[in-house]
Every structure is written in structure tokens, then in C-alpha cells.
């Protein structure tokens, strides 16, 4: 239900940050007819069109709307966990103006008709943009590649095996080769399922003390290394869906140094939490891949700071209460994140681990560049998808206030600093914090 | 009753295992000789006697109705005694029985054996074990020389020449012996060869075959004089090499719309058998620009020419 707002908006007196061109100025941002008109000082003083809504952003930061590269939305098939509508509400409250959703729905998004369904549902019920990813293999079974050409033509933004890996290297090789002809991007989750086995948290002392089966970082590293060799062989483009450990970062570094067309995401969970946060078997901290050791977390943050990690995503994975109210090993994995991704990320900024520009870049301009989307920028003529952030306001997360249908947040009752105060999509305010 | 034959062309090698190794002059010589047989085959009295008393064995390890029938007719019209042997692969252990079969047949002193086998190189292996002449009727993904010759004859008869024509070969290049033999022959005679296929159906290293390579039909068919479509086997379609027949036909199947990318007087060829609706649609296959039926007719003539040319150097010729 996105309506392009014709009435101009002037976001005045704010700190304007545009990571697409490393712009960091104090000034005004003018939006009209669904696009960005100008970003500079003194637009307000010079005079604005009649009927312009002027919003004072003093003390606030104005940045491009966030593009979340990995969110599970329950339509079709799991509407009880989340719908496109509820996900879009959560997204807007979290400053996410484009949701890139996963294809492991029911049915799987492996048919142009289903891509079309998702796009229609989004058009009718979502207050933010939705870009569906399609399944890389039919039914996500990992043996036959899907109709990559026709799916892309129908609107699929990229191709993925969801939260799993394609284990057959020959299938992966052929998929990379075939996708290259269509300039289709493959976003691959890197975890060897055989090594993972029954594992439910990071392998190490903590898991051993809790009596839980561990997942070694090698499960991720081995799959990533295999993929890097295949990318070199096929000269294709590739995006690692969710990296979590220092070992894998080394593989990524070497691949980039070799000149391979490789980029990578890290989830906000792995950047801000570690295995210790699981504490007394807290299932809201059970995610896949699991939260790692502190050393891996800091390596991941450093990699984000240096640009080795390109994108931060929420890995939004709504799980209902029944699935989480179980012993840790039996509980479902996943945490929601659309609404909290930015706020959690601000922790890294406040602790000086990361500049604000870098964080916003990884959540907006870089995803836009990698996916070939028009957003993630405040350049003139770009879509008017903009958010206003209050960097400092302290608040405590109350899960009941969250807009997602499921409340499985790792930041349950966490003390947070900073939040989105306004979200604008296509030039219209879709969320406002009052 | 022999037609007064103008061509005295002789094939100066014992076997015909591939187009590779044939000089442009030898290729042209075979085509010229084949022309004479085209005329002969349109007469009522088709019988020749140049292979009278000779024994021709069709040894087909891979099923083929049209090629086998074509060779059988070619041999019989030249007066040879023709024997057909179809060896099912289930009755065979690979390799060992191939040679045993060859040695056994050799002991019966045939003059020419025509062999088709599913493994690349198998025909050459067999040729080393026999005393007679061997003609390759298709070995795995390697070569199918008589197909390339009949394709060349068809092109030459319709376009007047082969040199400087643009020929687009489209489809499963990776698994195609027809593609490989055609590429070699058309390059030898000076044509401009282009291959069009998704990357998963192109052999690694194809650029070094002296062809232009593209994954796009519009680009591939631009200015093409001849559009040669290859069959896509069912096993390739299920997602291993291409995701589905719908996607394959959408991007790579020849229909009127895509044919319009080629020259207005472009002609369409296919070695057969066709998968209608997969690599080629019915309207084009049966349309005015199609040479598919003529190819089959040329096949008999070309095989007669090859047998005739070989027979002129058989022992006791």
C-alpha cells in the first residue's frame, strides 16, 4: 500500500550522511514527487515549494533508508510467523525501507508465478519496498538449478539456497556458470551440514560446559573455501550470505585480493553478540550459524570497519513462542531483527568500534550497489527512501511493543541507545516515533 | 549400369575417423563426388556396381535409425553386401568386448566397417585392431564426419558456396559430435562459425576452436546465413545443465521471432532427431526456410561418396 507522496518534505537542520558518496554535512534534505531533490545547507532559507512539510531534524541524523539483505517473511505458507504486512511494519519501525526476503517459504519461491505473488502481496500490503530472492535450486532441494533466467525476468533480485548450502559442488559449479550468463547474483549460505550435524551452538569450552553439541567454525570456512575455488573456476559473481568467524574472513580476504567478484554479509547478531550471551540456555540467542566467540565477533567488526565485510543484514527470522519454549537443543533457531538492526548496530558506533558512516553504508549503499537497486543513496533523483535517526536517546526494548508477529528478540529488555524517529518511503512518512 | 562418373576422387587414407586430418581439397573432392550421387539417387535405376563383391558391416553400438539406414542404403546402392549389427550396451562390458567384437568381425574379412559408439575415441580404438577400412558414424562427443559432410553439401547446394558464409551453430555444443565435426569442416572451407549456447553447454576452451562464442541468440544469429540447431537431450534439461525446457526454449529455442534476427534469406538446419518445442518450434522446422528434409537426402549421397572414394583404394580394387 505504498503511495508516492506528491507533497514535498524538507528535512531541515540535520546531519546529512550519504554513504554512497561519503557525504557528511549539516544541512537540509528536500524530497518531492517521490524522489530526492537536493541535499545541502540552506535549502530552507532559500525558500521551498508551497505546501512543503518542514520537519526539524536538529540534533538528528538523516541517512538513506536501510536495505536489509536477509529477512524471512512468512508469505506464502508461514503467515502465523510473519506476513509481508507485519514485516513491513517492523521494518519501517527499524528504518528498513527495503526488505530483501528469503525464498524458503512454502511453497518455495522457485517459480515465476510465486515471485509474482510476493510482488503483488507487497504492492497491496507492504508499507516498504520488498525485493524477493528466488531459490537457486528447485524446491531448495539442492540438486537441480531453478529457472534462473525466467525468475530474474519475473523480478527475483538474487538467488539463494536460503539458510542452507548447496552441498553438491557440481550443482553449485553449474549454477554459478549458468547464473553468470544472466548476470544473476548468487547469495550463498556457507555451512557444511554434515560437519554441523546436531550442533546447536559454537563449538568450544562454553558449549562443552553447557553440555550442548557444538558447531566448529570449520563448517563455515570449508564451505566458503570450496565456493571461492568455484567462483575462481567459473569467473562468476558471488555474495557470502552470513559470515561469522575470523577463519572465514581470512578466506574472504584472500579471495578479494585475488580479484574475485566476491562480497559478503554479516548479521547484526554476530556483530553485537557472542556465545556467552546464550547464558543460561536462552533460546532467543539460538541462531544459525551460532553466535561465536568474542574473538570472532571483534574480528567481524574489524572486517566491517575495513570494508572486508560489505553488508550488515538483520537475518530476521521470526519464530513463534512454542518453538522457542523448549530445551535449547530442541528449540528453533532464529531471531527477529528488522526493527532492532539499526539500534543494535549503533552500539558499535557508541563504543567507537565503528564509524557511523561505515555502519550506514553497510546497511544501505553497499546492499544497493551489490543488488543493483536504486536506493541506498541521497543523490538527486534517487528514490525518496530516507530515515531520521536520533543517535542518543536511551530506551529499553519492550518486546510487546515490537511490530513483528513474533517476539523472539535477542535484545529482550536490553538497554539501547539511539533509534529511528522517522521513516520515509517513496516520499511519504510511514513511521514516526513520538 | 554405371553412371559416367566425372569425379576420380580417391580418399588416400584407410579410415575416415573424423574431419580432422582431411584437407580442404579432400573435403571438396568428397562433396563433388557426392553431387554425382545426388543425381543418381533421383533416378529410378539407382544401382551401381563399384562395391560389388565387397562386404560392408554396420556396427552400431549406439541406437540410430537414420544414420544406419542411410549407410545401409548407400552400401546397397553401390552393390555391396551389407550386414547390420546393433549391439545393445547392456550386453556389453565396455572396452574389452569392443575389441573382441572387432577381432571377431575382422576374422570374417569385411572390406569396410561403419561404427557408431557412445564413447569418444572408441572408433579409433577399434580401427587399430582391424585390417579393413573403418568409417566413424559417430563416437561419443568427438566426431561425426559424414554428418558434417552432408551438412556442407546441403549448404553448398543452397548457397552456392561455403566460404565467407556465417554459420550459427546453436545448442548443446558441449555434448555434440555434430558441432565439433561441423566446426572443423566449416573453418577448413573458410566459413565464419559462431556457437550459441548457455555457458553450461559450452566446452571449456571452445574459444580456441576458431569460433565466435555467444550466450545470446540475438547476437548469435545476427547476419547468419545458416542457422544450425542441435538437439538437446532430455537428460540435460532437468536442471543439471539447463533448468527446464520452458527456460531453454524461451532463451535458446529457435522460433520465428529469433529466426528474424538472422539474414532474411537464412536457412535452418538440424541433424535430427528434433525435439519440437525444445530447441526448435514446429513452424520453423516445417517452414520455408528449413533444409532439414534435404539434409537427410544429402546424407545417402554423401555416404555413397565416402564409400566410393574409399573403395578406390581398397586392396584388390
Is the model's pLDDT at A63 over the cut of 90? yes
Cα–Cα distance list, B278 to A361, B142, B237, B255, B292 (Å):
46, 24, 9, 10, 16
Coil/strand/helix, residue A431: strand
Cβ atoms of A294 and A267 closer than 8 Å: no
Strands (E), chain B: 55-60, 81-86, 112-117, 133-139, 166-170, 192-196, 212-214, 226-229, 267-269
- Tell me the pLDDT tens digit for each residue of A27-54: 999 999 999 999 998 888 888 888 899 9
What is the least distance, in Å, from the CA of A60 to any CA of chain B?
50
pLDDT tens column, A214-240: 999 999 999 999 999 999 999 999 999
B241 vs B237: CA distance, rounded Å: 6
Which helix (H) or strand (E) is A302 found in, with range? Answer: helix A294-306
- A147 vs B247: CB contact, 8 Å cut-off? yes
Average confidence (pLDDT) over A75-79? 94
β partners of residue A383? A35
CA B168/CA B172 separation, integer angstroms: 13
Identify all chain B residues contacting A147, using CB atoms and an 8 Å cutoff: 243-244, 246-247
Interface test with A, best of B239, B244, B245 (most A CBs within 10 A): B239
A432: β partners: A422
Q: Are B138 and B309 in contact (CB under 8 A)?
A: no
Tell me what ipTM this predicted complex has.
Answer: 0.88
| Residue A354 cell numbers, joined | 565503528
Q: What is the pLDDT of residue B1?
A: 43
- Residue range A397-420: average pLDDT? 94
Positions of B marked catalytic: 66-67, 94, 116, 144
What is the pLDDT, as a whole number, of residue B96? 58
The pLDDT, as a whole number, for residue B63 is: 83
Q: From CA B180, how far away is CA B164, in angstroms rounded?
A: 19
Say yes or no: B63 contacts chain A, CB-CB below 8 A.
Answer: no
pTM of the predicted structure, to 2 decimals: 0.93
> Is the CB of residue A103 less than 8 Å from the CB of residue A140?
yes
Cβ–Cβ of A174/B244 closer than 8 Å? no
Distance CA A386, CA A329 (A): 41
Query: Distances from the Cα of A238 to the Cαs of A6, A158, A173, A230, B138, in angstroms?
Result: 39, 10, 12, 10, 39
Residue B90: the pLDDT is: 47
Residue of A nearest to B236 (CA): A144
Do the beta carbons of residue A25 and residue A54 sit within 8 Å?
A: no
State the count of interchain CB pairs (< 8 A) between A and B.
42
Residue pointed to by grid coordinates 555451512:
A191
CB–CB contact B199 A181 (8 Å): yes
Q: How many Cα atoms sit within 13 Å of A262 on the Cβ side?
A: 29
List chain B pLDDT tens, one digit each, 317 residues: 455 567 888 888 999 999 999 999 999 999 999 999 999 999 888 888 899 999 999 999 988 888 999 999 999 999 999 999 877 654 555 555 788 888 888 999 999 999 999 999 999 999 999 999 999 999 999 999 999 999 999 999 999 999 999 999 999 999 999 999 999 999 999 999 999 999 999 999 999 999 999 999 999 999 999 999 999 987 767 668 999 999 999 999 999 999 999 999 999 999 989 999 999 999 999 999 999 999 999 999 999 999 999 998 887 65
Taking the CA of residue B203 and the nearest CA in chain A, the distance in Å comes to: 12
Amino acid at each position: 500500500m505504498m503511495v508516492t507522496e506528491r507533497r514535498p518534505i524538507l528535512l531541515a537542520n540535520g546531519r546529512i550522511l550519504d554513504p554512497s558518496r561519503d557525504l557528511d554535512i549539516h544541512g537540509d534534505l528536500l524530497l518531492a514527487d517521490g524522489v530526492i531533490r537536493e541535499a545541502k545547507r540552506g535549502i530552507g532559507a532559500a525558500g521551498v515549494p508551497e505546501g512543503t512539510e518542514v520537519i526539524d531534524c536538529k540534533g538528528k541524523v538523516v541517512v538513506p533508508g536501510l536495505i536489509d539483505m536477509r529477512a524471512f517473511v512468512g508469505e506464502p505458507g508461514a503467515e502465523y510467523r510473519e506476513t509481508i504486512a507485519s514485516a513491513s511494519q517492523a521494518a519501517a519501525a527499524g528504518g528498513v525501507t527495503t526488505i530483501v526476503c528469503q525464498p524458503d517459504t512454502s511453497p518455495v519461491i522457485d517459480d515465476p508465478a510465486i515471485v509474482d505473488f510476493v510482488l503483488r502481496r507487497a504492492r497491496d500490503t507492504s508499507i516498504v519496498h520488498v525485493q524477493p530472492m528466488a531459490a537457486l535450486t528447485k524446491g531448495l532441494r539442492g540438486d537441480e538449478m531453478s529457472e534462473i533466467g525466467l525468475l530474474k525476468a519475473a523480478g527475483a533480485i538474487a538467488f539463494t539456497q536460503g539458510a542452507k548450502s548447496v552441498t553438491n559442488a557440481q550443482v553449485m559449479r553449474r549454477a554459478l556458470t549458468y547464473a553468470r550468463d544472466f548476470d544473476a547474483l548468487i547469495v550463498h549460505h556457507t555451512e557444511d551440514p554434515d560437519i554441523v550435524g546436531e550442533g546447536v551452538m559454537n563449538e568450544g569450552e562454553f558449549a562443552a560446559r553447557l553440555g550442548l553439541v557444538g558447531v566448529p567454525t570449520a563448517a563455515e570456512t570449508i564451505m566458503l573455501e570450496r565456493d571461492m575455488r568455484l567462483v575462481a573456476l567459473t569467473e562468476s559473481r558471488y555474495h557470502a550470505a552470513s559470515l561469522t568467524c575470523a577463519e572465514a574472513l581470512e578466506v574472504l580476504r584472500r579471495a578479494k585480493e585475488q580479484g574475485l567478484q566476491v562480497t559478503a554479509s554479516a548479521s547484526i547478531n554476530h556483530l553485537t553478540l557472542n556465545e556467552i550471551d546464550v547464558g543460561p540456555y536462552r533460546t532467543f540467542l539460538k541462531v544459525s550459524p551460532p553466535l561465536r566467540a568474542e574473538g570472532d565477533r571483534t574480528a567481524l567488526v574489524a572486517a566491517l570497519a575495513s570494508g572486508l565485510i560489505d553488508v550488515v543484514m538483520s537475518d530476521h527470522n521470526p519464530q513463534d513462542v512454542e518453538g522457542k519454549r523448549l530445551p535449547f537443543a530442541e528449540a528453533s533457531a532464529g531471531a527477529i531483527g528488522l526493527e532492532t538492526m539499526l539500534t543494535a548496530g549503533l552500539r558499535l558506533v557508541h563504543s567507537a568500534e565503528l564509524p557511523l558512516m561505515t555502519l550506514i553504508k553497510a546497511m544501505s549503499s553497499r546492499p544497493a550497489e551489490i543488488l543493483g537497486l536504486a536506493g541506498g543513496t541521497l543523490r538527486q533523483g534517487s528514490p525518496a527512501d530516507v530515515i531520521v535517526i536520533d543517535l542518543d536517546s536511551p530506551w529499553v526494548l519492550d518486546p510487546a511493543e515490537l511490530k513483528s508477529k513474533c517476539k523472539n528478540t535477542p535484545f529482550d529488555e536490553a538497554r539501547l541507545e539511539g533509534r529511528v524517529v522517522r521513516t520515509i518511503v517513496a516520499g511519504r512518512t510511514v513511521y514516526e516515533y513520538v | 549400369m554405371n553412371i559416367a562418373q566425372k569425379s576420380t576422387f580417391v580418399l588416400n587414407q584407410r579410415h575416415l575417423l573424423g574431419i580432422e586430418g582431411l584437407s580442404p581439397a579432400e573435403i571438396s573432392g568428397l562433396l563433388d563426388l557426392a553431387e554425382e550421387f545426388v543425381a543418381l539417387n533421383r533416378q529410378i535405376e539407382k544401382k551401381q556396381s563399384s562395391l560389388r563383391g565387397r562386404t560392408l558391416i554396420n556396427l552400431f553400438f549406439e541406437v540410430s535409425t537414420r544414420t544406419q539406414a542411410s549407410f545401409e542404403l548407400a552400401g546397397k546402392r553401390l552393390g555391396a553386401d551389407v550386414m547390420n549389427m546393433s549391439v545393445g550396451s547392456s550386453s556389453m562390458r565396455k572396452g574389452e568386448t569392443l575389441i573382441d567384437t572387432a577381432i571377431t568381425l575382422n576374422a570374417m574379412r569385411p572390406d569396410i566397417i561403419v561404427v557408431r559408439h557412445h564413447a569418444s575415441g572408441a572408433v579409433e580404438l577399434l580401427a587399430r585392431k582391424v585390417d579393413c577400412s573403418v568409417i566413424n558414424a559417430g563416437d561419443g562427443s568427438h566426431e561425426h564426419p559424414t554428418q558434417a559432410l552432408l551438412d556442407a553439401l546441403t549448404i553448398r547446394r543452397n548457397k552456392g558456396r561455403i566460404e565467407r558464409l556465417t554459420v550459427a551453430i546453436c545448442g548443446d555444443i558441449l555434448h555434440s559430435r555434430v558441432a565439433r565435426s561441423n566446426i572443423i569442416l566449416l573453418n577448413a572451407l573458410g566459413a565464419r562459425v559462431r556457437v550459441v549456447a548457455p555457458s553450461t553447454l559450452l566446452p571449456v576452451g571452445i574459444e580456441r576452436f576458431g569460433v565466435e562464442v555467444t550466450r545470446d541468440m540475438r547476437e548469435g544469429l545476427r547476419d547468419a546465413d545458416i542457422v544450425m540447431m542441435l538437439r538437446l537431450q532430455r537428460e540435460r534439461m532437468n536442471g543439471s545443465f539447463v533448468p527446464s525446457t520452458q527456460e531453454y526454449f524461451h532463451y535458446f529455442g529457435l522460433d520465428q521471432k529469433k529466426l528474424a534476427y538472422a539474414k532474411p534469406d537464412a536457412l535452418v538446419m538440424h541433424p535430427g532427431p528434433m525435439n519440437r518445442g525444445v530447441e526448435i518450434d514446429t513452424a520453423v522446422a516445417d517452414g520455408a526456410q528449413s533444409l532439414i528434409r534435404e539434409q537427410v537426402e544429402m546424407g545417402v549421397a554423401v555416404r555413397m561418396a565416402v564409400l566410393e572414394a574409399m573403395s578406390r583404394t581398397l586392396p584388390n580394387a
